[in-house]
Amino acid sequence: MFFPKKVLMEKEALNYPVGERVYKFSRQHNIPVEVLPKTVRFTSMEEKPLKKFLEAKETLAVVVKKKIQFLTCKPSADYQLPLITSCPGLCTYCYLFTNLGKTPYLRVYANTGEIFQKAKEIINKNARLTAFEGSATSDPVAVEPITGSLKEAISFFAQIELGRFRFTTKFTDIDSLIDLDHRFRTEIRFSINTPYIIKKYEFRTPCLEARLEASKKIKKAGYPLGFLIAPVFVYDGWERDYRKLLEQLAGAMDGLYFTLEIISHRFTARAKSNIEVLFPRHGLPLGEENRRYQFGQFGYGKYVYDKDNFNKLKEFFYQEVPKILPQVKILYIV
């Protein structure tokens, strides 16, 4: 379980249940709380970047989201649901290095009621099934015992016939979600990878076995369940390792239905720059050979595997998943 080393809280955030919960939790666990009269200001990471980066990863900021926007979130969902930003994990490949590299403070948005109201307005306007992604810029499960934000979101979407909620996690703090009346409108997915990749790149996260155990609890609670295999790396022996991962997943799920989303490794020039400053011995494949440049939906480009490597990756999963996990639906491979 994650315990921040300090909490920064906008005074206005105490007027909301999320703010009250975080404040109470912090007091109970002797975590220093600094209540600020105005907006939390995040300090620069230019001096002693690794030290500042690690401090930011252990700082929880509770703020009121002034501008509530719902950005698109393809192919995962129609929109992002902004509940939390950043994550206490230290995955060296993290895509958030693109936009949070210098200020990776964990930000919790206290005014969830206003956020849900805006989501409801969008659903009503669309007048169709509309899905929201709760983990586009975060791993909300990591701080759920402190915030209760996911519990609120799941309960909200349970009341909205045309609303759907989904989020992804590497963490296992899901006990408070087990007994909720979710009405099958929230899908919980676990991000998994081979033990080799987890050990090499995914620091401060639970092991594969712990994630699979948590996923079984979620399935038993009746939630729609999914897995992200992400990011998939192409290296010597990758087919063997990912085949073993699929076999381990099959053993854990024992014929139960779930969805799969498969995302190949990619990086931006900005993420690469931040990673190389913070983790000079990162060991990631950040060379531009065997890569192609692809523009993304948010106006900046990224380096993805070239067509030859990507086609091999795609062919591998489309062949192996039906053999090892015949009950599973692959939603997409990107």
Whole-number Å distance between alpha carbons of 276 and 206: 25
Specify the pTM: 0.94
**pLDDT at residue 50, rounded to an integer:** 87
Residue 304 lies in a domain: yes
**Which pLDDT band, with edges at 50, 70 and 90, does 44 fall under?**
low
What average pLDDT does range 272-291 have in this prediction?
A: 93
Q: Cis bond leading into 49, ω under 30°?
A: no
Residue 1 lies in a domain: no
Least confident of 28-32, 61-65, 296-300: 296-300
Residue 80 lies in a domain: yes
**pLDDT at residue 45, rounded to an integer:** 57
User: What's the Cα-to-Cα distance from 281 to each of 53, 87, 176, 194, 285, rounded to whole Å?
Assistant: 16, 22, 38, 21, 11
**Is residue 259 pLDDT above 90, yes or no?**
yes
**Which pLDDT band, with edges at 50, 70 and 90, does 308 fall under?**
very high
Residue 114 lies in a domain: yes
**Which residue's structure tokens are 């950005």?**
71
**Is residue 293 pLDDT above 70, yes or no?**
yes
**pLDDT at residue 48, rounded to an integer:** 77
Residue 96 lies in a domain: yes
**pLDDT at residue 40, rounded to an integer:** 74
Residue 194 lies in a domain: yes
**Which pLDDT band, with edges at 50, 70 and 90, does 100 fall under?**
confident
CATH number at residue 142: 3.80.30.30
Are the CB atoms for 200 and 165 separated by under 8 Å?
Answer: no
How does pLDDT run across 7-37, given as a tens digit for each residue? 999 999 999 999 999 999 999 999 999 999 8
**pLDDT at residue 37, rounded to an integer:** 87
**Which pLDDT band, with edges at 50, 70 and 90, does 216 fall under?**
very high
What average pLDDT does range 260-275 have in this prediction?
A: 96
Residue 84 lies in a domain: yes
**pLDDT at residue 334, rounded to an integer:** 97
**Which pLDDT band, with edges at 50, 70 and 90, does 149 fall under?**
very high
Tally Cβ neighbours within 10 Å of residue 154.
Answer: 22
What average pLDDT does range 215-237 have in this prediction?
A: 98
How does pLDDT run across 156-178, given as a tens digit for each residue? 999 999 999 999 999 999 999 99
Residue 329 lies in a domain: yes
Domains contained in the chain, number: 1
Are the CB atoms for 165 and 185 separated by under 8 Å?
Answer: yes
What average pLDDT does range 113-136 have in this prediction?
A: 98
Mean pLDDT, rounded, of the chain:
95
Whole-number Å distance between alpha carbons of 203 and 182: 31
Beta strands 72-73 and 77-80 are antiparallel
User: Which domain range does residue 36 map to?
Assistant: 6-333
| φ, ψ at 104 (rounded to 5°) | -85, 30
Tally Cβ neighbours within 10 Å of residue 305.
Answer: 22
How does pLDDT run across 179-214, given as a tens digit for each residue? 999 999 999 999 999 999 999 999 999 999 999 999
